[in-house]
Amino acid sequence: MSLSLQKNAFFGRRKGPVVIVVLDGVGLGTGYPGDAVAAARKPVFDNLMATRPWLKLAAHGVAVGMPSDADMGNSEVGHNALGAGRVFDQGAKLVQNAIDSGALFAGQGWREVVEQVRARGTLHVIGLLSDGNVHSHIGHIKALIANAKSAGVQRVALHALLDGRDVGETTALEFVEPMETWLASLGPGYAIASGGGRMVITMDRYEADWSMVERGWKTHALGEGRLFPSASAAIRAFRAEKPGVIDQDLPAFVVARDGKPLAPIVDGDAVVLANFRGDRAIEITKAFLGEVPFERGRRPDVAFAGMMTYDGDTNLPPRILVQPPVIDRTMGQYLVGSGARILACSETQKFGHVTYFWNGNRSGYLDQSLERYIEVPSDRVSFDERPWMKAAEITDATIAALDEQAASGKGFGLARINYANGDMVGHTGSFVATRMAVEAVDLCLGRLLPAIARLGGIAIVTADHGNADEMYEVDKKGGVKVENGKPKAKTSHTLNPVPAMFFDPGFAGEWELDASVAQPGLANVAATALTLMGYVPPSDYWPSVIRFRQG
């Protein structure tokens, strides 16, 4: 599809690019003792808020396509909204609607996996077992299993990935124990068969660490690993062996009966991956259906279905349970259709967010002649050990690319970068490391913004959701929860708004914030950026939050 934009009167008023800087996970909290953003020494950030125009953006709930305002935002839906300029119903809402209406169970994908195992065989359900509603929801998993029971499936094996990242860091037993009891009530063929922490097995993304997927494959498919009588017994044993370990880092386990794995995956079985979000589902899907860079050993012949399409460009997986959102006419499509050049840069952990998710869940380039994508390889360490991550390298690469393109006489019109620190370090639960992560990013802003000024550009400094702004759990009275004499860490995203700060060194009073825009959110950023680039945004985009002054 070729799309183009009309120019507005501001076109050409700035010779440099508009740079959208996403401070991933840096929300605007209350400043309570667990707010690592407020606690951080961040003179550049603070100066922007003190001296430049800025406003708050909604980054959770219905403002980013989630089912309700009780639902946290996340990087996937946040970058979809940033890139699309509108809000589309997202995975969590689409799946819940399909369950509530019965459309999921009437669909071809579900009917095929049920038929595969109705007479014999086992239905394996792999999924993140929590109510975080970011990658999955335990309610969706229970609905699948309950329908399988009513359809006459005799054996269901649940392969439970433990969260502690989108929910409380040590809440695994709150989900596992009731699930074990409920599965037992359905019959002797229903049980948890394997599992492990989501940052140890199965849920790698962007090919950052295929060894996670290999461990997951051996655990779920082959039934290889340390044996336990139940999932809850495994969790208790791991916690006793390593006090303080959090759920996302728990080792893999295999549930056994009579000394043998309960339910390895074999020929003739069916497998459903119950996660709806794509980034951490693609690689394990490839392990069942495609090529992977590790030796799988036995590769069972199964009917595999994903909850949704995880990679639209490759139609992976071909069998799905719920149709994904169709995101069309992204700002990237309009810009390349108008001949504008685009730069996207981040480290591996968020590279797909400034490319795939920003482009409406499309992998690859929209127009490689006009776009440049730079991926900085992430370190394979726990992020609290190196809270600076690759922020400096992202800054180096961005400045170098901007300078190089400007020197060619064909500068970038738009650049978008993501600093992953606030989110990835925030998920570790370490307050000190997260404060350092925010400080590291601020140091990089102190280098990036002068480079943008030198090129005659504009920066929009924002975030995709909160995380670092709430590092301690809060009790019902608003006080910090204490556990074992220490504040109880919070590792999940927040419901807080995020900033949108405008750095325009060439500002001469031409524009102002538009107070008439009601309840601005992440989706307003696209039209705002296009306006500052000198284009008239598409009429159905959420409106720009700036307006030009008359005269």
Topology of domain 18-89+327-548 in CATH is: Alkaline Phosphatase, subunit A (3.40.720)
Establish whether 136 is a catalytic residue: no
- How does DSSP classify residue 9? T
Residues 4, 68, 75, 430: which is the catalytic one?
75
User: Could you tell me which residues are beta bridge partners of residue 123?
Assistant: 156, 270
Q: What is the pLDDT, as a whole number, of residue 551?
A: 59
- Specify the CATH superfamily of domain 92-306: BPG-independent phosphoglycerate mutase, domain B (3.40.1450.10)
Give the whole-angstrom CA distance, residue 501 versus residue 462.
6
* CA neighbor of 23 nearest in space, from 463, 358, 529: 463
CA separation (Å) from 414 to 59, 81, 525? 22, 17, 13
Cβ partners under 8 Å of residue 208, min gap 6: 348, 349, 378, 380
DSSP codes, 283-301: HHHHHHHS--SS---S---
* CATH 3.40.1450.10 in the chain, residue ranges: 92-306
Cα 537–543–546 angle (5° rounding)? 95
- The closest of 308, 315, 317 to 286, measured between CA atoms, is 317
- Residue burial 469-506, b: 16+ Cβ < 10 Å; e: rest: bbbbbbeeeeebbeeeeebbbbbbbbbbbbbbbbbbbe
Count CB-CB contacts under 10 A for residue 145. 22
The secondary element (H helix, E strand) that includes residue 392 is helix 391-407
In the chain, CATH 3.40.720.10 covers 18-89+327-548
* Residue 2: per-residue pLDDT: 62
Tokens of 162: 């433990």
- Can you read off the two tokens belonging to residue 377? 């390889």
CA distance 28 to 468: 9
The phi, psi pair for 293, rounded to 5°, reads -85, 35
| 73's tokens | 């935002």
Cα torsion through 139, 141, 147, 153, rounded to 10? -150
pLDDT for the residue 325? 85
| pLDDT tens, the chain, 551 aa long | 569 999 999 999 999 999 999 999 999 999 999 999 999 999 999 999 999 999 999 999 999 999 889 999 999 999 999 999 999 999 999 999 999 999 999 999 999 999 999 999 999 999 999 999 999 999 999 999 999 999 999 999 999 999 999 999 999 999 999 999 999 999 999 999 999 999 999 999 989 999 999 999 999 999 999 999 999 999 999 999 999 999 999 999 999 999 999 999 999 999 999 999 999 999 999 999 999 999 999 999 999 999 999 987 678 999 999 988 889 999 999 999 999 999 999 999 999 999 999 999 998 999 999 999 999 999 999 999 999 999 999 999 999 999 999 999 999 999 999 999 999 999 999 999 999 999 999 999 999 999 999 999 999 999 999 999 999 999 888 889 998 899 999 999 999 999 999 999 999 999 999 999 999 999 999 999 999 999 999 999 999 999 999 85
Please state, in angstroms and rounded to a whole number, the distance separating the CA atoms of residues 468 and 381. Answer: 19
How crowded is residue 312: how many other Cβ atoms within 10 Å of its Cβ?
17
